Amino acid sequence: MACRTSAPGAALFWDMLALLAREPGMEWLRLSLAGLAAPPGPRSPGTPPDGSEISYHRKHSLGPCPLKTLSLLERSGDDKLWQAYLEGLKQFLVFRESMGMPAAWPIPAEQIRGFLVVESNYSPSRTLKYMAALSYLSKLTGNADPLEDPITCCMVTGLKRRAGILRDKYLPVTIEMLRSLLGVLESVCRTHYECLLFRALFTVAFFGALRIGEMVAKHRDILQPELLRLSDLQLMERKVLLFLPYPPVDQERHAISLALSGEPWVCPVLALRNYLAARPRLEGALFVHADRRPVTRREFLAVLRGSLRRLGMCPEHFGVHSFWLGTALTAARCGYPQEEVTRLARWPCGTPGRF
């Protein structure tokens, strides 16, 4: 297969597909990697041949331009993701051969469960990445997702709990914790700009009850529709308006109002003003690094947990939703009516029973 691009992550993606194309029933993928459309499936009754129709495989077609389709798929992930997925596929094939199991797609339930059990003895988190790889590749090739099997799904859930990834609930960030977190940012962030950036992020996350997908990007090169842009912000003398670009519950665009606080240390308006004064003057994601890259979920969590360690707290007890949870919990404990808490948290129903 000819090299599609010189990017390391791209090479990993194409290597993964080349390995997958050797599997039985993947002839269509070999043709796609060669730049050819998949062979035609059975013609529907009553469909006349006109000599100009594009040949589509009824299950696996990547369309008339398979390489372009695959190129777009390759750009949906980064080099770390494709490295993990390629390794996961390789390890699964080694496991299957060592156990004398037949090569088959969709992946039989006994194979995926056996692979999960064996790999979980080494590293639960790495095993979960391997499971995600096999799930992705199965769906890419038009096969059933092996993780949708009820027993396998429960096994994955148990592994997540063992790895500390899945918890019944994370602890909330309270206003007292917010004050402390802001106080250690200078010892966690590398530059003054990063301090301004994460001070704005933390205060806006708390007082705005924002969800993580509204503040930071899920991946470095992909901006999800709900991510706040600079143009979604309206800065006034005593308040800031944030217009959510993607309605999370209803059909009307939601506006979040942040007022000037009497406590400057935790004031989201002042934090935003200081950050915007240093931010590059270009449209794009609201929260970006000095080199204009959007802050990612992983980076947000790394700074949060680094700050928690500085405070002598257990970082595994807190997650990306801890600010949102802390805001709603604080409002409920301060005696706000249930309707106000529901509106603040933007629940689709009116029963915030967890509080």
Average pLDDT over residues 295-309: 93
Residue 50 identity (one-letter amino acid): D
Please give the pLDDT value at position 116: 94
Q: Mean pLDDT check: name the lowest of 1-5, 184-188, 250-254.
A: 1-5
Q: What is the pLDDT of residues 166-175, one digit of tens each?
A: 554 678 898 9
Q: In this model, does residue 309 exceed pLDDT 80?
A: yes
Question: Among 163-172, 188-197, 250-259, 309-318, which stretch is predicted with the lowest mean pLDDT?
Answer: 163-172
270, pLDDT greater than 80: yes
Q: pLDDT per residue over 285-300, tens digit each?
A: 999 999 999 999 999 9
Straight-line distance from the first to the last Cα atom of the chain, in angstroms, rounded to the nearest whole number: 57
Q: What is the DSSP letter of 226?
A: T
- Per CATH, 8-37+58-163 and 175-345 having the same topology is answered no
The CATH architecture assigned to 8-37+58-163 reads Orthogonal Bundle (1.10)
Give domain 175-345's CATH number out of 3.40.50.720, 3.30.930.10, 1.10.730.10, 1.10.443.10: 1.10.443.10
d(CA 171, CA 306): 16
Q: Which of 261-270's residues contact partners 24+ apart within 8 Å by CB, and which partners? A: 261/207, 265/179, 265/182, 266/175, 266/178, 266/179, 266/182, 266/203, 266/206, 266/207, 267/203, 268/200, 268/203, 268/204, 268/206, 268/207, 268/208, 268/240, 269/238, 269/239, 269/240
DSSP 231: G
**Amino acid symbol at 273:** R
User: Degrees (nearest 5) of the Cα angle 299, 300, 303?
Assistant: 85
Domain ranges of the chain: 8-37+58-163, 175-345
pLDDT digits (tens, 9 = 90+) for 183-213: 999 999 999 999 999 999 999 999 888 888 8
Q: What pLDDT is attached to residue 19?
A: 94
Q: What percent of the chain has pLDDT over 70?
A: 80
- The arithmetic mean of pLDDT across residues 89-103, rounded, is 95
Q: Which amino acid is at 24?
A: P
